[in-house]
């Protein structure tokens, strides 16, 4: 029987390693417990400091905006040297400035910007923008674009081509929000896909835009398909009906997603003249676009339009048959769909239906 004594010197190497590991694990565990406590205490202290600074800042802003007796430049200096001690203080104040700026207009908004410059927040953010940390750059871009404050363009242009999607996004928003005349000019030089998220943000910014919305037709021949798709959506969103002929041209575009968006937009705009071209394209279209064309017929076409597509929906296109069935029910008064097509046995019935449909069209 092996006898192991509690004398460490007699312990085998394995046991010694285990003992050391136990001690290491215990120490690290204790370290993490301390870290948890430290984080909690630090968070509470920071929170309390934040509340205090915010309260002081709100008082200061109120006085700066509404008390005409104070010496503004002295007040700015006093506040700066009394309260702004760390980078965390800068961050708190930048957030507050953004909140004020969002809620104030006109002269008050200009005074908020004066505070922004006066407290050295512009300088602070500009340093972030020149730094190498992407998230500091993103924060600076976010603040500048929200406040509509311009910075030297050579700082921002390279970010449009950044590998980091967040930086690209903030650069886009910056150009949108600071442009006085041509908010979408950056699209000319944009490389890479415009993600859906970026599209949503641009659309959102444009909706609150005070200058004239640009004509989106300008980018319908852009080499990047996602930008073309975005412009088609925006033509619809901003009711630029003058561009309908160009949208119709997009039905011939090489990219499936562009054609899809064109079909969707033309359908929503109820451009019935485009339907004939869609019907012509139907046999060569992808499954998704075929489906869109079927639904376009539902909105702008007749049963005859639908009937012309029957030969092009093949026996194996079960999903399209279901779509066809759904849509043809809207024309129930012209054809007894339910009695001709049983949804349970749709695919089996389809060839018979194709034949019936062909005879009907010959008869007509």
Residues that bind other proteins (CB under 8 A): 1-6, 12, 14-15, 17-19, 21-22, 25-26, 28-29, 32-33, 35-37, 39-40, 43, 135, 138-139, 142, 165-166, 170, 192-193, 195-201, 203-204, 207, 233, 237, 318-319, 322, 325-326, 329, 343
Where would I find the H helices in the chain?
13-66, 72-83, 87-103, 106-118, 121-130, 134-147, 153-160, 165-178, 196-207, 225-237, 244-249, 256-268, 275-281, 287-300, 303-309, 318-328, 337-340, 346-363
Identity of the residue, 79 or 226, whose beta carbon is nearer to other proteins in the bound complex? 226
**What gap in Å lies between CA 309 and CA 12, rounded to an integer?**
83
CB 96 within 8 A of CB 57: yes
Minimal distance, residue 200 CB to other proteins, in Å: 4
**What gap in Å lies between CA 275 and CA 219, rounded to an integer?**
24
CB 98 within 8 A of CB 143: yes
**What gap in Å lies between CA 298 and CA 324, rounded to an integer?**
10
Minimal distance, residue 188 CB to other proteins, in Å: 20
Identity of the residue, 206 or 246, whose beta carbon is nearer to other proteins in the bound complex? 206
Minimal distance, residue 33 CB to other proteins, in Å: 6
Please report where in the chains the tokens 């017929």 appear, as a residue.
297
Minimal distance, residue 355 CB to other proteins, in Å: 23
Identity of the residue, 79 or 230, whose beta carbon is nearer to other proteins in the bound complex? 230
Identity of the residue, 11 or 83, whose beta carbon is nearer to other proteins in the bound complex? 11
Identity of the residue, 32 or 241, whose beta carbon is nearer to other proteins in the bound complex? 32
Minimal distance, residue 129 CB to other proteins, in Å: 14
Neighbours of 301 (CB within 10 A): 24
Identity of the residue, 79 or 292, whose beta carbon is nearer to other proteins in the bound complex? 292
Report the SS3 class of residue 364: coil
Tokens of 152: 């030297």
327-330 contacts, C-beta under 8 A, 24 or more apart: 327/294, 327/295, 327/297, 327/298, 328/303, 330/298
Identity of the residue, 76 or 229, whose beta carbon is nearer to other proteins in the bound complex? 229
Minimal distance, residue 70 CB to other proteins, in Å: 33
Identity of the residue, 292 or 357, whose beta carbon is nearer to other proteins in the bound complex? 292
Minimal distance, residue 280 CB to other proteins, in Å: 26
Tokens of 144: 């500048």
Name the DSSP letter for residue 335.
S
CA angle 50, 51, 54 (to 5 degrees): 80
Neighbours of 263 (CB within 10 A): 28
Minimal distance, residue 134 CB to other proteins, in Å: 8
């Amino acid at each position: 029987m092996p006898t192991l004594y509690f004398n460490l010197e007699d312990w085998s190497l394995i046991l010694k390693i285990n003992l050391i590991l136990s001690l290491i694990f215990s120490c690290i565990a204790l370290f993490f417990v301390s870290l948890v406590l430290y984080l909690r205490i630090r968070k509470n202290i920071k929170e309390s400091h934040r509340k205090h600074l915010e309260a002081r800042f709100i008082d200061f802003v109120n006085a700066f905006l509404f008390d005409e007796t104070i010496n503004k430049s002295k007040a700015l200096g006093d506040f700066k040297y009394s309260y702004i001690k760390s980078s965390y203080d800068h961050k708190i104040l930048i957030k507050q400035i953004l909140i004020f700026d969002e809620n104030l207009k006109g002269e008050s908004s200009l005074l908020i910007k004066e505070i922004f410059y006066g407290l050295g927040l512009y300088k602070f953010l500009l340093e972030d923008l020149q730094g190498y940390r992407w998230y500091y750059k993103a924060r600076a871009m976010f603040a500048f674009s929200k406040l509509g404050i311009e910075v030297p363009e050579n700082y921002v242009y390279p970010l449009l081509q950044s590998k980091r999607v967040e930086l690209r996004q903030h650069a886009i928003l910056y150009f949108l929000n600071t442009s006085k005349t041509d908010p979408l000019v950056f699209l000319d030089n944009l490389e890479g896909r415009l993600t859906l998220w970026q599209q949503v943000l641009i659309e959102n910014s444009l909706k609150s835009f005070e200058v004239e919305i640009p004509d989106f037709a300008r980018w319908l021949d852009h080499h990047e398909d996602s930008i073309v798709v975005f412009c088609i959506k925006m033509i619809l969103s901003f009711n630029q009906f003058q561009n309908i002929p160009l949208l119709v041209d997009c039905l011939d575009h090489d990219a499936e997603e562009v054609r899809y968006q064109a079909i969707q937009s033309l359908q929503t705009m109820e451009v019935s003249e485009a339907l004939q071209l869609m019907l012509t394209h139907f046999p060569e279209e992808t499954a998704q676009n075929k489906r869109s064309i079927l639904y376009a017929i539902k909105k702008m076409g007749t049963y005859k339009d639908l009937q012309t597509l029957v030969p092009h929906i093949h026996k194996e296109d079960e999903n399209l048959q279901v779509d066809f069935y759904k849509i043809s029910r809207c024309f129930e008064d012209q054809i007894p769909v339910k009695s001709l097509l049983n949804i349970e046995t749709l695919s089996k019935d389809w060839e018979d239906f194709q034949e019936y449909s062909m005879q009907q069209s010959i008869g007509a």
